[in-house]
Amino acid sequence: CHWRAFMILRFRLVAILGASVCTRAFTLLEAVSRDGLRLTSPRMMATPAGLAILFDCDGVLADTERDGHRVSFNRVFEERGFDFEWTVEEYGRMCEVGGGKERMTAYLNGFNGYRTSGWPAGYESPTTESLTKGLPDDPRRLELVRELHARKTALFQELIGSGVVPLRPGVLRVVDEAIAAEVPLAVCSTSNEAAVRTLVETLMGPERYARFSFFCGDVVPRKKPQPDVYNLAAQEMGLDKSECVVIEDSGIGNQAAKSAGVAGLV
């Protein structure tokens, strides 16, 4: 029945994903009555289950940061003849910066001292060192990071299509039980939308893919840790934020959810 599917989903979110549930998330889940349609207050919810799940992508649906994005970035660096690559530990620290283009810009500018020799040859003397939304205002530097990121995205999609980066264990069960309980689903990611869509469709199949909404990449002016992507998802999907539970794996993602006023699991 609908209620049983909803309760199974609730425990999957905790047990399968290994998440620690914040108080607000538990309060939201406990508030749904046995018919799955109404909160304990008289107000009707916008969704049949009174719940919507907004997934981050990388590190939540699959371990794509370490084994997908990092590998693809390093292949691009090698193709361009750059004298650096990102180790697992170093890339983990770089994930404090949301967005691939922004991440490369921060690294080349010496983010937390990770890159000390600066920009590659030919890009050492920009017209300006200033940044706008984490990206270079200098036209040549901006063109470089865009080119690198476009190539990295193509390599990442090839990698995902090959099946070498699987879904995290239990993700399909959570998704299937959410669909059975009529819970709306979305992916809210700083990653390129085409790459995220490729991952979901390839690893979950077209029927599950069709049940997701996608809010990714440059769809919002400010990326995580700013709350813009979760605000947009709630607005576009017609959700009350009290209905939403975000599943994240990072500090900046959790901060984005909290800033949006949405319950989160990390």
Please give the positions annotated as active site.
Answer: 56, 58
Q: Which of 164, 154, 184, 143 is nearest to 9 (CA)?
A: 184
